[in-house]
């Protein structure tokens, strides 16, 4: 099963780091955890090169390592999740671009390329360090990173890209915003340990601390043990998590005593004149981040954002763009309130599923929602008395009758000279806006798919989204799309019917689908051949003759989902493998364009047909890569959105 994934990851690593690391990864993937020596043996690579390759892998967090004791041999194993995540980079950058702006996207792109980065190095790379003085005390995690080399690497990459200069302030506030939104997280020492070893260590700690007799048998003790383990896990996670307070680079005098234990090694940075110039960002933005803060991109957080985007698209299909936008804002609000798509630690805190889901109010949604969106126009009757929800004060005072009470956006709103400052000015406008949002949310709730739920029946305006159920809906929709695109509408009809009705006999299938048995039989057989449907045999007698057997057809969405996932892995690998094949066709031109005397002066040095060919090549590469991105979206949906998938745990 993992073969397709291993192949894909190997290709990804080969593209990302190089052949050596890819080979090591493939060997590790095949054999499980190995020491350096056995790894060298299996891969048939000299030990010295194995060490370099492993260093590369580890730098990108593609390999995990753990030694039980000081002088015990270190075992290496692959980190499936991170390896696969290499395919997700473009999607994440896109996402960050959308939400936090181009600058943030660029920074996230750089961090993704590096795996993880020290803030100081990043700043340096962006030419923001006044005088680059390396801090003396580097915390342990940073040891794994050859800082100089990488620092220079970014400098090169970014100086080419960053056309506009970025101020220190912009840099830090963006970084901080990203940290606060959870896209970036702090990297702690424990990030490199395989989860199973981590679990063992936690258990050991708990036993030695709280169970002196080393016995954890019996129901009560077992329970206590579990609670203690989760508490410790949570504590460690919190220790590793970023917080505005602890990770702030000090601002001179204002320093709480508590700050010291976290940032002992961090030097005070003077913040220059920036502090006063920035009013709207609040006081936090004025403090610089510590240079020694090591950050990486939190993929699970990004998965959550991808899920929100997907849900929004799904809602758009059924309820239109405006309602979907409101939904998107609701989802984004909720994102801030949960830790991950599926928080296994939070799950066992409360038995009640309902209450463990986060809730948001319409006011919170209104804060995130783009004020330019015309809320009234897409619901009949809403625009009639509310007029324009993004109207300015002057408009709000006009009598309502002046406006066409037809659900059309008025032309006036564009020609109006008055600037629309921040969406709504008067209290009434705000109230209108909130009730419009509520109306949209109610629409979402009314829909069969139950996109969201009001927490209490009436009166309160808290809204909740049942993510597990909706994730299942998304998966079903994706499976359906695939079935329809491959096998046609009728096949989809049959598959959906079987999913809804359970196991059915051929004749029942035909009568439910209102089709001829002959046609149904063809569809059923085709779908069975491709693994979408399965038939259960039910012999009528002991003879078990096929002619005396009933066949009950059914569709197991879970199985189909995994089938498609594997196929997507494989298709992604093929798509990536196709790139070098295509490159071969344009090899001479590419080589010429990459010659040192041509590079940078392509316009003058290349002939017209050569330029044309180069353009074609770029187009081909672009198309292939974007296809990979789209397939990655599918993988995210089929595998990651529920957060319950265990196929990637190491």
Partner 1 sequence: MATLAKLSDDGDALYVKLLQVAQSSPDGLRKVFFQADIQALASESAKTLQDLMPLVQELTNHCLLRLSKLDRALCWSARPRDAAKAITLLNPDEKMIYSYVEDAHQKGIWLRELKKRTGVNPNVVQKTMPKLEGAHLVKSIKNIRAPAQKTYMLYHLVPSDDVTGGSFFDAGDLDESLIEELSNLIIFHVRMQSWADTKPKRVKREASPPVLIDDHNDSNGNAKKRKRGATADIEDAPRKYRPTGYDDHAVEIITQLSFPAYTRTYPSAEAIHAFITTTDAIRASKAAQLTVPEIQGVIDVLVWDDKLEKVGDGYRTVRGVSFKPPGYPDDEGEEEGDARFGNGLTQAPCGKCPVFDLCGEGGPVNAGSCVYWAKWLEGGG
Binding site for partner 1 (CB under 8 A): 7, 317-323, 377-382, 384, 404-409, 411, 439, 442-443, 445-448, 478, 481-482, 484-486, 489, 492-493, 496-497, 500, 507, 511-516, 564, 567-568, 570-571, 573-575, 577-578, 581-582, 620, 623-624, 627, 629-634
Name the residue nearer to partner 1 (CB basis): 22 or 34.
22
By C-beta, is 41 or 462 nearer to partner 1? Answer: 462
- What are the CA-CA distances from residue 321 to residues 33, 314, 409, 435 (Å)? 49, 10, 14, 18
Q: Where do runs of H (alpha helix) occur along 115-249?
A: 119-125, 147-161, 168-181, 195-210, 219-240
- Residues 388 and 420 sit within 8 Å (Cβ to Cβ): no
CA distance 242 to 179: 7
> What is the DSSP code (8-state) at residue 44?
T
Minimum distance of partner 1 from residue 88's CB (angstroms): 13
Alpha carbons 278 and 26: distance in angstroms, whole number: 50
Give Cα 458 distance to the centre of its chain.
34
Rounded to the nearest 10 degrees, how much is the dihedral formed by the CA atoms of 544, 547, 553, 559? 60
- Find the shortest distance in angstroms from Cβ 451 to partner 1: 11
The residue (of 164 and 518) whose beta carbon lies closer to partner 1 is 518
Residue 34 DSSP code: B
Cβ at position 428, least distance to partner 1 in Å:
20
Helical (H) or strand (E) element with 112: helix 102-114
Give the other-Cβ count within 10 Å of 53's Cβ. 25
Closest approach, Cβ 14 to partner 1, in A, equals 12
Q: Please, what is the minimum distance in Å from the beta carbon of residue 314 to partner 1?
A: 12
Please say which residue, 173 or 575, places its beta carbon nearer to partner 1. 575
Residue closer to partner 1, measured from CB, 446 or 594:
446
Our CB check for partner 1 shows the closer of 610 and 632 to be: 632
CB 176 within 8 A of CB 285: yes
Q: With respect to partner 1, which residue has the nearer C-beta, 7 or 121?
A: 7
Residue 12 C-beta: closest distance to partner 1, Å? 14
Q: Which is nearer to partner 1, 200 or 582 (CB)?
A: 582
Of 331, 537, 567, 548, give the one whose Cα is nearest residue 444: 331
Smaller CB separation from partner 1, 263 or 361: 361
- What are the helix (H) ranges across 267-298? 274-277
298 or 632, CB closer to partner 1? 632
Is residue 202 a contact partner of residue 318, using CB atoms and an 8 Å limit? no
The least distance separating partner 1 from the CB of residue 255, rounded to whole angstroms, comes to 49
Q: Which is nearer to partner 1, 544 or 630 (CB)?
A: 630
Which residue's CB is nearer to partner 1, number 286 or number 323?
A: 323
Instruction: Compare residues 84 and 564 and give the one whose CB is closer to partner 1.
Output: 564
> Which residues lie across from 462 on neighbouring strands?
361
In the complex, the smallest distance separating the C-beta of residue 614 from partner 1, rounded to whole angstroms, is: 16
Q: Which distant-in-sequence residues (6+ apart) come within 8 Å of 87 by Cβ? A: 8, 12, 572, 628, 629, 632, 635
Count, residues in the chain: 650
CA distances in angstroms from 609 to 261, 277, 604, 605, 613, listed in the order given: 64, 52, 13, 12, 6
Do 625 and 90 meet the contact criterion of CB atoms below 8 Å apart?
Answer: yes
3-state secondary structure 525-558: HHHHHCCCCEEEEEECCCCCCHHHEEEEEECCHH
- In whole angstroms, the minimum distance from the beta carbon of 499 to partner 1 comes to 9
Cβ of residue 443: shortest distance to partner 1, in angstroms? 5
CA distance 141 to 643: 27
Q: How far is the CB of 446 from partner 1 (least distance, A)?
A: 4
* CA–CA dist 297, 179 (Å, integer): 9
Q: How far apart are CA 376 and CA 409, in angstroms?
A: 9
CB contact burial 588-613 (16+ within 10 A = b; e otherwise)? ebbebbeeeeeeeeeeeebeeebeeb
Q: How far apart are CA 369 and CA 379, in angstroms?
A: 17
Q: Please say whether the dihedral angle defined by the alpha carbons of residues 173, 176, 181 and 183, taken in this order, is positive or negative.
A: positive
Between 232 and 579, CB nearer to partner 1: 579
Q: Give the shortest CB-583-to-partner 1 separation in angstroms.
A: 11
Three-class SS state of 303: helix
Greatest Cα pair distance in the chain: 91
Q: Which is nearer to partner 1, 203 or 629 (CB)?
A: 629
**Could you give phi then psi for residue 453, rounded to 5 degrees?**
-135, 140
- Min dist. Cβ of residue 191 to partner 1 (A): 30
- Cβ 415 to partner 1 shortest distance, Å: 13
Among 127, 120, 196, 130, CA closest to 157: 127
CB of 6 to partner 1, least distance (A): 12
Q: Of 259 and 629, which CB lies nearer to partner 1 in the complex structure?
A: 629
The whole-angstrom separation of Cα 481 and Cα 353 is 30
Query: CB 624 → partner 1: shortest distance, Å?
Result: 8
Q: CB-side exposure of 329: number of CA atoms within 13 Å?
A: 23
């Amino acid at each position: 099963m993992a073969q397709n994934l291993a192949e894909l990851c190997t290709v990804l690593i080969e593209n990302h780091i190089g052949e050596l690391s890819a080979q090591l990864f493939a060997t590790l993937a095949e054999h499980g955890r190995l020491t350096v020596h056995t790894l060298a043996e299996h891969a048939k690579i000299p030990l010295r090169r194995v060490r370099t390759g492993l260093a590369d892998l580890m730098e990108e967090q593609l390999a995990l390592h753990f030694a039980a004791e000081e002088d015990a041999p270190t075992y290496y194993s692959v980190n499936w999740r991170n390896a696969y995540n290499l395919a997700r980079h473009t999607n994440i950058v896109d996402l960050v671009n959308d939400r936090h702006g181009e600058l943030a996207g660029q920074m996230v792109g750089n961090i993704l390329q590096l795996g993880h980065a020290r803030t100081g190095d990043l700043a340096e790379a962006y030419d923001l360090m006044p005088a680059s003085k390396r801090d003396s005390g580097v915390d342990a995690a940073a040891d794994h990173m050859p800082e100089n080399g990488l620092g220079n690497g970014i400098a090169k990459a970014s100086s080419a890209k960053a056309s506009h200069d970025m101020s220190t302030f912009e840099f830090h506030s963006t970084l901080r915003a990203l940290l606060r939104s959870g896209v970036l997280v702090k990297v702690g020492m424990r990030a490199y340990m395989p989860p199973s070893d981590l679990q063992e260590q936690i258990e050991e700690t708990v036993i030695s601390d709280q169970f002196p007799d080393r016995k954890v048998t019996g129901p009560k003790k077992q329970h206590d043990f579990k609670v203690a383990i989760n508490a410790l896990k949570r504590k460690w996670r919190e220790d590793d998590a970023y917080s505005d307070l602890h990770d702030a680079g000090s601002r001179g005098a204002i320093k709480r005593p508590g700050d010291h234990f976290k940032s002992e090694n961090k030097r005070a940075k003077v913040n220059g004149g920036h502090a006063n110039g920035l009013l709207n960002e609040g006081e936090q933005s004025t403090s610089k981040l510590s240079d020694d803060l090591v950050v990486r991109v939190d993929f699970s957080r990004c998965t959550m954002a991808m899920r929100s985007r997907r849900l929004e698209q799904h809602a758009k299909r059924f309820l239109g763009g405006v309602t979907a936008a409101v939904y998107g804002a609701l989802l984004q609000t909720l994102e801030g309130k949960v830790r991950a798509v599926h928080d296994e630690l939070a799950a066992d805190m409360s038995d009640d599923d309902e209450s463990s889901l986060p809730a948001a109010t319409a006011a919170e949604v209104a804060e995130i929602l783009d004020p330019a969106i015309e809320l009234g126009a897409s619901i009949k009757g809403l625009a009639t008395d509310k007029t324009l929800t993004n109207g300015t004060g002057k408009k709000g005072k006009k009598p309502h009758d002046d406006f066409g009470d037809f659900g059309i956006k008025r032309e006036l709103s564009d020609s109006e000279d008055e600037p629309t400052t921040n969406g709504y000015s008067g209290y009434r406008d705000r109230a209108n806006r909130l009730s419009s949002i509520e109306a949209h949310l109610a629409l979402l709730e009314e829909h069969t798919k139950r996109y969201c739920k009001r927490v209490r029946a009436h009166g309160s305006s808290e809204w909740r989204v049942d993510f597990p159920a909706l994730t299942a809906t998304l998966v079903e929709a994706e499976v359906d799309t695939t079935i329809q695109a491959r096998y046609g509408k009728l096949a989809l009809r049959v598959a959906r019917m079987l999913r809804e009705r359970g196991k059915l006999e051929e004749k029942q299938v035909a009568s439910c689908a209102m089709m001829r048995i002959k046609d149904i039989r063809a569809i059923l057989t085709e779908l069975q051949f491709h693994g979408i449907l399965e038939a259960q045999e039910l012999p009528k007698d002991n003879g078990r003759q096929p002619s005396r057997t009933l066949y009950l057809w059914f569709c197991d969405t879970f199985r189909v989902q995994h089938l498609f996932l594997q196929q997507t892995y494989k298709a992604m690998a093929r798509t990536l493998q196709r790139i070098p094949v295509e490159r071969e066709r344009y090899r001479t031109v590419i080589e010429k364009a990459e010659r040192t005397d041509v590079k940078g002066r392509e316009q003058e040095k290349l002939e017209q047909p050569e330029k044309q060919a180069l353009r074609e090549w770029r187009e081909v590469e672009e198309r292939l890569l974007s296809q990979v991105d789209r397939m990655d979206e599918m993988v995210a949906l089929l595998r990651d959105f529920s957060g319950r998938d265990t196929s990637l745990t190491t």
